[in-house]
Chains A and B, each alone.
Chain A
Amino acid sequence: EADIYQTPRYLVIGTGKKITLECSQTMGHDKMYWYQQDPGMELHLIHYSYGVNSTEKGDLSSESTVSRIRTEHFPLTLESARPSHTSQYLCASSPLSSIFHEQYFGPGTRLTVT
């Protein structure tokens, strides 16, 4: 079944650690996105990509980096985690084949930095 996956779903990590949040989609979508969202609050765009080897920073780059080496994979890396990074991270993808380019969201990774 075509879907979008995020791992891990929950992560508790200490300050200063390097972490990578994984996002994969099996829908063949060209566009992928990362958002940061505190529970029940607004979405903040961190990074996005419109295809392989294409990445752009959003409004909240958040000391993070992304890569897009394969169409289906869009990992987000925090080089040095801080308590201010505690939040939920949502990955999304959208197809170029639809005129709407509507976004499909993953289940999210809830990150806690101690």
Chain B
Amino acid sequence: AQTVTQSQPEMSVQEAETVTLSCTYDTSESDYYLFWYKQPPSRQMILVIRQEAYKQQNATENRFSVNFQKAAKSFSLKISDSQLGDAAMYFCAYRTYSGNTPLVFGKGTRLSVIA
């Protein structure tokens, strides 16, 4: 079974600085999809960024980018120019290519942003 590991339960970053959240996963498949979700305190979970495993180019969405290392099974999230609104729980998730199974989520990383 696939597993997703987020080794940093908590992280903090100074406002305007850059932070990287780690995510590793275990799979025997060659094609799959990866996601980062953001859950602000007492607010709705939203999709931040997504990546197709068969595309080597790292996905980017404004200040959010990923470092996808397929051989290492690593999918880290980089947040540039951190803002107070970036404070949230961040969840990494994996989905098989076939789509017949639900997303597998990591346990999350709580990010604090210091003014």
Contacts and interface: CB of A to CB of B under 8 A. Distances in A.
Interface of A: 33, 40-43, 45, 48, 50, 58, 90, 92, 96, 99-108
Interface in B41-66: 43-47, 50, 52
Given A42-B105, A42-B108, A43-B105, A101 B99 contact: yes
A106 B39 CA distance: 11
7 contacts: A41-B108, A43-B105, A45-B102, A50-B100, A99-B52, A100-B35, A101-B99
Contact of A100 (B46, B95, B105, B110): B95
Interface of B: 33, 35, 37, 43-47, 50, 52, 89, 91, 95, 99-100, 102-103, 105-108, 110
Contacts of A107: 43-44
A104 B47 contact: yes
A17 to B, nearest CB: 25
B35 A102 contact: yes
A105 B105 contact: no
Contact of A58 (B52, B95, B102): B102
Nearest to A56: B102
B107 A100 contact: no
Given A40-B89, A100-B95, A102-B35, A90 B50 contact: no
A85 to B, nearest CB: 20
B50 A105 contact: no
A48 B108 CA distance: 21
A61 to B, nearest CB: 14
